[in-house]
Chain A
Amino acid sequence: MADKSRTEVQAVWQGGLAFEAANQAGLTITMDSPLAEGMPKGPSPMQLLLMSVAGCTAMDVISILEKKRQQVTALEVKVIGQRADDHPRYFREIELVFVVRGHDVDPKAVERAIELSAEKYCSASANLQPKSEIRHHFEVEQEES
């Protein structure tokens, strides 16, 4: 098993302002400037940062809700980041809205799962705070049984 405490990634310039990133498993992502001429070749680094926070929390929430035997059929996280006006234009605020769908899903269990991720498990959130204020909201949609 790989050393869990160490992570390595690299990004290689592809011309323009596009880069191809790879992790140790060889998985790749192309990123680009949103101001690239024509269509950008991929998400911008700042969009990837939001995906990192959302993905991390979403993964925790799914794991915790499964442990609590909640029957979740779908989960979406919508994320909005508000950037500072001046350079380095970091995210002042990040708002995550979770939409959880399932059968008899207990809103209290969802609330607790999000709290546990935010306060205890999500490494991306831990790295962004205290610079970015991260707020979580959720909605539960019950499936017809």
Chain B
Amino acid sequence: MGIEVKWLEKRQFVGIDSTGHSVVLSSPADGIGMKPSDLLLVALAGCTAYDVVDILEKQRQKLVGLTVEISADQEPEPPWTFRRIHVVYRLRGELDPKAVQRAIELSETKYCSVAATVRCAADLTSEFEIEGPD
């Protein structure tokens, strides 16, 4: 799997994936794209959200909506490693809480490659909430 990152100017970069999608990265001061450490958490959110949708669909659960929120604390000194990462899954639909819990566990322990990678350095915790289908 491969990607490229090119410098535009100042602290602004564009990332290009193998199918040609582009993502703008920048320092917060440049403000036109996410900073790389935000992108790390986005990758984690996407990876685990993807698993949860996939697993719940296989279990024929009627998922209507899903939002994954991640908050993370970094070391105050360089390299500002994330030490605590907390994931909140907000699901909507007619869902069995046991199935949801199992899907999250499977993602965190078995399928999510980003979680498997970052949990060596960071303590990863999670919780979930289910809202009705309306």
Contact = CB atoms under 8 A, between A and B. Distances in A.
B133 interface: no
Contact of B11 (A29, A33, A62, A89): A62
Chain B contact surface mostly:
mixed
Contacts of A51: 3, 5, 15, 17, 23, 25, 36, 39
Given A7-B71, A56-B36, A120-B78, A76 B45 contact: no
Nearest to A16: B53
A130 to B, nearest CB: 6
Contacts of B63: 13
Contacts of B118: 127-128
A33 B50 contact: yes
A136 interface: no
B97 interface: no
A70 interface: no
A127 B46 contact: no
A46 B25 CA distance: 16
Contacts of B76: 4-5
Interface in A57-87: 58-59, 62-63, 72, 74-81, 83-84, 87
B15 A21 contact: no
A34 B34 CA distance: 22
Interface residues of A, number: 71
Contacts of B28: 2, 25
Interface residues of B, number: 69
Contacts of B128: none
Contacts of A46: 1, 43, 47, 113-114
B59 interface: no
Given A27-B34, A31-B46, A75-B6, A63 B82 contact: no
B15 to A, nearest CB: 4
B38 A7 contact: yes
Interface in B60-74: 63, 65-74
A48 B7 contact: no
Interface in A23-53: 23, 25, 27, 29, 31, 33-34, 39-40, 42-53
Interface of A: 2, 4-13, 17, 19, 21, 23, 25, 27, 29, 31, 33-34, 39-40, 42-56, 58-59, 62-63, 72, 74-81, 83-84, 87-91, 120-132
Given A31-B42, A88-B111, 14 more contacts: A4-B80, A5-B80, A7-B41, A45-B42, A45-B50, A52-B36, A55-B13, A87-B113, A90-B114, A90-B116, A91-B117, A123-B40, A126-B80, A129-B120
